[in-house]
Amino acid sequence: MAPSRITPICLLVYLCFLGVFVKSVLSAKARHFKWEVDYMIGAPDCLEHVVMAINGQFPSPTIKARAGDTVVVHLTNKLHTEGVVIHWHGIRQLGTPWADGTASISQCAINPGETFVYRFKVDKAGTYFYHGHYGMQRSAGLYGLLIVDVEEGKKEPFQYDGEFNLLLSDWWHKGVHDQEVDLSSNPFRWIGEPESLLINGRGQYNCSLAAAHDSKASGCTFRGNEACAPNILHVKPNKTYRLRVASTTSLASLNLAIGNHKMLMVEADGNYLQPFSVNDFDIYSGETYSVLFRTDQRPTDNYWISVGVRGRQPRTPQGLAIVHYQTTTASKLPTLPPPQTPLWNDYARSKSFSNKIRALSGSPKPPINHHRRIFLLNTQNRINGYTKWAINNVSLSLPPTPYLGSIKHRLTNAFDQKSPPDTFLSTYDIMKPPPNPNSTYGSGVYMLKFNTTIDVILQNANALNPNVSEIHPWHLHGHDFWVLGYGEGMFSKRDEDKLNLKNPPLRNTVVIFPYGWTALRFVTDNPGVWAFHCHIEPHLHMGMGVVFAEGFILLGRYQTRLFLVA
Amino acid sequence: MAPSRITPICLLVYLCFLGVFVKSVLSAKARHFKWEVDYMIGAPDCLEHVVMAINGQFPSPTIKARAGDTVVVHLTNKLHTEGVVIHWHGIRQLGTPWADGTASISQCAINPGETFVYRFKVDKAGTYFYHGHYGMQRSAGLYGLLIVDVEEGKKEPFQYDGEFNLLLSDWWHKGVHDQEVDLSSNPFRWIGEPESLLINGRGQYNCSLAAAHDSKASGCTFRGNEACAPNILHVKPNKTYRLRVASTTSLASLNLAIGNHKMLMVEADGNYLQPFSVNDFDIYSGETYSVLFRTDQRPTDNYWISVGVRGRQPRTPQGLAIVHYQTTTASKLPTLPPPQTPLWNDYARSKSFSNKIRALSGSPKPPINHHRRIFLLNTQNRINGYTKWAINNVSLSLPPTPYLGSIKHRLTNAFDQKSPPDTFLSTYDIMKPPPNPNSTYGSGVYMLKFNTTIDVILQNANALNPNVSEIHPWHLHGHDFWVLGYGEGMFSKRDEDKLNLKNPPLRNTVVIFPYGWTALRFVTDNPGVWAFHCHIEPHLHMGMGVVFAEGFILLGRYQTRLFLVA
């Protein structure tokens, strides 16, 4: 058949394909936002406090987009003396590493008065959020949701009638600048537990709407229009709702429950899960989940959503929101008490939940073998009397010049040229305080070859005080990774067989349990410089992170291309 | 005489000159400092608070140098998210405008982790200080003294047996970041009066060592080694001491007195005065004085130095220090009460003092005529509901790119290219609130030709509230100026003859009294970009300043030289 001749059927098929193509191109949008970051006077937990805000909103505005869209944010820094960046948590920045929004890593902080344009594709539907990634500006309130719906015409692998978003955070009355100074002091001053838990930026300090069920709490009254009044989710009976939950806490590991309602876990960090039912679920800082719940309870009642602290002895009251059945009045308080948060140190329960998380059948599977395995031991240490966290005895100290530019321009004096170690002494006793608590600062990077499979074994250990090992949720930039498994004690060869290569979930954040290990795997298919760090804000401030530089090779004297494959 | 032949006498003369030359070169030193700026936990008025510190010291270290020395400060920013600069207040930066340390004017703020080297000559003996000049970092405690002695072998025009330095400041319990947000809020929130006055960084909140003389105050006890214990000046009887006093207050206009001791005013802002005797003296923010006092009082007593607020209704207790006659014990409290501060609103008294200040006979005199006279009306205004200060209806809004670089590189989009006006409506009624309170933001500069004589008439007016006109101490960078006079009401032609061209003092800071004017003159002999602004920190934050660009001419396409004479 000559090329110029097309049969009618071929033409039809051709036009159909063209149609799909055109529709796909048409439906993918560039979504533009003009944002100004500034401080404002707010009252997150009803007490007046300075908060970081975008365009005068706290929490910052929710971005809604569809998979395939390009998000363009013109971010102007209106702060007086501070730089600022915004990290798009969970967005892999495929091909746009400079838009990752990590100060000292992907970019210089945006100086006061200046504007930086973030332009990146949200390639995958899911529940994401964004937040400051400079100093402890996330703790100061610089965060918001980023919701990516499926492409137009495509469907989620589950159905629902409506959706709600809950952005969880924790709140201190001491200002973040002062917290930073405390954490950097010698002797060390810990920031303590948060005064309040916030749901969508709203908490109630020193009082509780659920006081009727808690003899220790004093009552609150709200008309509902107060900035700190609890969120109300208005639902209809016998419907299915999707609850998108993201945790941007500075410190707290949380557990969420809805009174009397079961939930079906369906999405985590922008990846579908093999659905499973729960009465409550744990959520660590940096994680997101979608759960479905059916409004199948007595419709003449309302119900509490409660959020409480786990993993640390809680000194913070539960955060509360209300599920309001529209058949009754929104002002009617639930008759049942808020769901109790499971015991903070029932780690068996936490692990049981984490181990239930599996990828939806048909999800991408990890490569069977790894090319390189990096063991990362996290220890608490002292450096010249200052309390720090260290990974393989190196406490991350970010350089003023961002790695991405330093590596591109081959600056050899911008950061430590020696890579930090891939492992630690096999004789290290993770059950005891560090025998040599002295650590060093470091700014070296792990250079990862392009298109290789990397395993990371996160190894927890005892902190400086005896019998203390803490929870750390680790977050990777630029990637999702497969969570191959969790285990007790030191990772050893006999754990190898326990790794789940069959249906491990894809995540961007994973927890490491006290005295335990967590194994994860990813493929270096996204050139860039990516932070991998504990998402607890004060822990990162204290050096708990590493930096992966991925897909770079030296380019000789031709430096016109940023990345080459290895 | 052949060039190679030198008679013995010629040789002697030659060697003498060479000796003087060598000595002069040898005695002028480069003084190097390695400084790190950081926050630390202090207790300036005995209450714990975060303060800005250099090398862990608050107030920051005192620089001691000799006239002719070069000061070299390697300033490393150890803050977490904030930029920083340091302005060398009173140093004219002859030929080194890039070392003036003004963010947005002479340089970009130094970003966290970066080091900037300030290198400048201290050409003139005197009492100076330095401080942050970015946001309100001066209020946060970033200040220290800079004392320049006369060249080796030279003598001051007065004699003394010893000297003491007093650096005066005011202190708030609300953090400076929160103050900035308050001042930038709509509705406006004023920072209020300071909680404490500090002498050399030491104040005593909520108590007074002089409680025995003040029924309202509760007593303090100090062992003397507390960070907030009052300063003690240990003196011997019948000696003459030089007291160098600098005020870096954020807001307060002060008055200082020493119980029972008269003082002789001898130096102001690094310029000698025709000496005159006082019982107490006013000092405005940005000013420095040297006074001599003779320890001629009963040597078995100690004496209070008291510092109190003037010019605003005081709500702040006096700051106190002790003059201790070494013939008695330092722990013996003075038997006399601290000197009372003159009534805050006795402006006649303030003006009488200011008018007594004259240059030491033989000091440089101003040119008889001016080339250009700029009238600067300061008004309080609102812009879109935000409370601001404006000069000739323009509220200064500093651009992110520093003027010095913008002008050198002829960037036409870095700041408003239109100059602000040289004058204001002659019909403006300074006795009433602004008839049109709406003002505009502006970043334009006054372009001043090289080697011309500039007069500035600062014109005070009524603020937004009726019957309110405030004190503003105006500080000029890059220059001393002659203070030609002060007057009541609107400056008019008949005031021309009252200007003092005979013996006006040279200053870098001068006060403008309520509803009055102040005339000053300077010669544009120092190319650069120089701020001229109210030294009250919140007023500058609210836009109360102008920018002079001096000695620039357009260089066509040859831009290799920064400055050319006009």
| Cβ <8 Å between B41 and A83 | no
Calculate the alpha carbon distances from B309 to A109, B195, B243, B348, B541 in Å: 41, 12, 19, 16, 21
pLDDT given for residue A562 in this prediction: 44
- C-alpha B485/C-alpha B456 separation (Å) is 11
pLDDT score of B321 more than 50:
yes
Contact B341, B369 (CB under 8 A): no
Q: For residue A41, give the chain B residue with the closest CA.
A: B181
Q: Which of residues 513-542 of A touch B (CB under 8 A)?
A: 541
Candidate from B40, B81, B182 with C-beta closest to A137: B81
pLDDT score of B4 more than 80:
no
| Cβ <8 Å between B81 and A134 | yes
Candidate from B41, B135, B181 with C-beta closest to A81: B135
pLDDT given for residue B26 in this prediction: 55
What is the amino acid identity at position B141?
G
Q: Band the pLDDT of B208: cuts 50, 70, 90.
A: confident
| Cβ <8 Å between B135 and A41 | no
- Confirm or reject contact between A181 and chain B (CB < 8 A): yes
- C-alpha A168/C-alpha A186 separation (Å) is 32
pLDDT given for residue A207 in this prediction: 87
Residues 6+ apart with CB under 8 A from A76: A34, A35, A36, A37, A113, A114, A115
The predicted-structure confidence for A92-148, as pLDDT tens digits, reads as follows 999 999 999 999 999 999 999 999 999 999 999 999 999 999 999 999 999 999 999
Calculate the alpha carbon distances from B100 to A73, A161, B104, B414, B508 in Å: 36, 64, 11, 20, 14
The predicted-structure confidence for A6-29, as pLDDT tens digits, reads as follows 445 544 444 444 544 445 555 789
Give the mean model confidence (pLDDT) for residues A246-254: 98
- C-alpha B178/C-alpha B174 separation (Å) is 7
What is the amino acid identity at position B548?
F
pLDDT given for residue B435 in this prediction: 79
The complex's ipTM works out to 0.92
Contact B125, A411 (CB under 8 A): no
- Confirm or reject contact between B111 and chain A (CB < 8 A): yes
The predicted-structure confidence for B50-75, as pLDDT tens digits, reads as follows 999 999 999 999 999 999 999 999 99
Calculate the alpha carbon distances from B133 to B10, B104, B143, B404, B405 in Å: 53, 10, 10, 16, 18
pLDDT score of A360 more than 80:
yes
Show the CA angle centred on residue A56, arms to residues A51 and A61, nearest 5°: 95
pLDDT score of B278 more than 80:
yes
Mutate which: B79, B80, B85, B173, vs A, most A CBs within 10 A: B80
Residue A323 in tokens: 């599920």
pLDDT given for residue B483 in this prediction: 98
- Confirm or reject contact between A174 and chain B (CB < 8 A): no
The predicted-structure confidence for B81-130, as pLDDT tens digits, reads as follows 999 999 999 999 999 999 999 999 999 999 999 999 999 999 999 999 99
Give the mean model confidence (pLDDT) for residues A368-378: 98
pLDDT score of A329 more than 90:
no
Residues 6+ apart with CB under 8 A from A526: A92, A93, A94, A95, A97, A478, A479, A550, A551
pLDDT given for residue B209 in this prediction: 86
- Report CA torsion sign: A96, A98, A99, A103: positive
Percent of chain A with pLDDT over 90: 86
The predicted-structure confidence for A201-246, as pLDDT tens digits, reads as follows 999 998 888 888 888 888 888 887 888 999 999 999 999 999 999 9
Quick one: which of B267, B262, B410 has its CA closest to B323? Answer: B262
Residues 6+ apart with CB under 8 A from A310: A253, A254, A255, A282, A341, A342, A344, A350
pLDDT score of B151 more than 60:
yes
Contact A63, A33 (CB under 8 A): yes
The predicted-structure confidence for B154-181, as pLDDT tens digits, reads as follows 999 999 999 999 999 999 999 999 999 9
Give the mean model confidence (pLDDT) for residues A450-455: 97
In angstroms, the first-to-last Cα distance of chain B is 44
Beta strands in B250-327 (DSSP E): 253-258, 263-268, 271-278, 280-283, 288-294, 302-310, 319-325
Contact A49, A8 (CB under 8 A): no
Q: For residue A174, give the chain B residue with the closest CA.
A: B175
| Cβ <8 Å between B39 and A83 | no
Q: In the predicted model, what is the mean pLDDT of chain A? A: 93
Q: Which of residues 24-43 of B touch A (CB under 8 A)?
A: 38-41
Q: In the predicted model, what is the mean pLDDT of chain B? A: 93
Q: In angstroms, what separates the C-alpha of B41 from chain A's closest C-alpha?
A: 7
- Which letter, b or e, does each residue of A401-430 get, where b requires 16 or more Cβ atoms within 10 Å of its Cβ? bbbbbbbbeeeeebbbeeebbeebeeebeb
The predicted-structure confidence for A479-508, as pLDDT tens digits, reads as follows 999 999 999 999 999 999 999 999 999 999
Residues 6+ apart with CB under 8 A from B330: B224, B232, B234, B302, B322, B324
Give the mean model confidence (pLDDT) for residues B441-455: 97
pLDDT given for residue B206 in this prediction: 87
Candidate from A81, A83, A134 with C-beta closest to B137: A81
Show the CA angle centred on residue B517, arms to residues B511 and B521, nearest 5°: 75
- Which letter, b or e, does each residue of B312-329 get, where b requires 16 or more Cβ atoms within 10 Å of its Cβ? eebebbbbbbbbbbeeee
